[in-house]
Amino acid sequence: MVQYIIKIAETIAGHAERGELGEVLVLRAAFAEELDRLDPRDFLPSAQYDFVMVRSQAHRWAQQTMAPIQLPSLAEHARRTAGILSHYGGDGSRASVRSFSFIIDSDLRDIIDRDYRELTLKVFPSGAWKSSVVLAGSILEAILYDQLARDSSIKQSALASSKAPRDSRNGQVKDFDAGDWRLFDLIAVATDISLLPADRSKSIDQILRDFRNFVHPKKELRAKYPCTEAEAMLALGALAAVCNILTS
């Protein structure tokens, strides 16, 4: 995606900070040209104005005669541009980001929002398929933990569900608050108490239930489960489906 442009920006900043004017002059025109390839509408709304401004400044740097005294300002500009590029959502994405206002726990909402932005703006667009599946599963797990505990009656129904996971040693329901429930358990219980429809939960479960296998190489080898672009797309689709259900 834009990682190569970020690399150019960081390289320019490094040369500028070391006072290497000649190296900066070699890269400055290419830097401006690459920024021209990006559409401001494909950035998050909060970064669109900033991107237009740094791109305009990049053109000014590319066209004017430069002196060593200007290098610190150029280094600052390049670093700032690299940061703004992290808010790029991909060609044609228009960088729409989902709202998680339905999440009750504000601290958990901040984590989910942060991870979802990282998933959709960085991890998936960069082609990191395994990381996309792992992160999508982690986000879904956090969402279901929140929704199963959003009020006392729902939580009690979840704990009383026949699908609630139990400790094999004593038969007691595993500690929900300690995070002892797996994604498989959360989906099964959410379906059992009608938080998720049964017809959709099966497909969601099949796609994401084993996402933690990808965290541990040995488990991944044993599972012999492929992790390609197709799996990553299915994972994002399953996550989106759950969010749509919970907000409908």
Residue 219, CA distances (Å) to 8, 168, 193 in order: 38, 22, 31
Rg (CA), the chain: 23
How far is residue 191's CA from residue 194's CA, in Å, rounded to a whole number?
5
- pLDDT for 231: 82
* Residue ranges of domains in the chain: 3-85, 106-247
> What is the DSSP code (8-state) at residue 172?
P
Residue pointed to by tokens 């729409």: 96
| Model confidence, pTM | 0.66
Read off the pLDDT of residues 131-168 as tens digits, 9 standing for 90 and up: 998 899 999 999 999 999 999 999 999 999 999 999 98
- pLDDT for 52: 95
How far is residue 1's CA from residue 28's CA, in Å, rounded to a whole number?
20
Residues of the chain whose pLDDT is less than 50? none
Read off the pLDDT of residues 179-199 as tens digits, 9 standing for 90 and up: 899 888 999 999 999 998 887
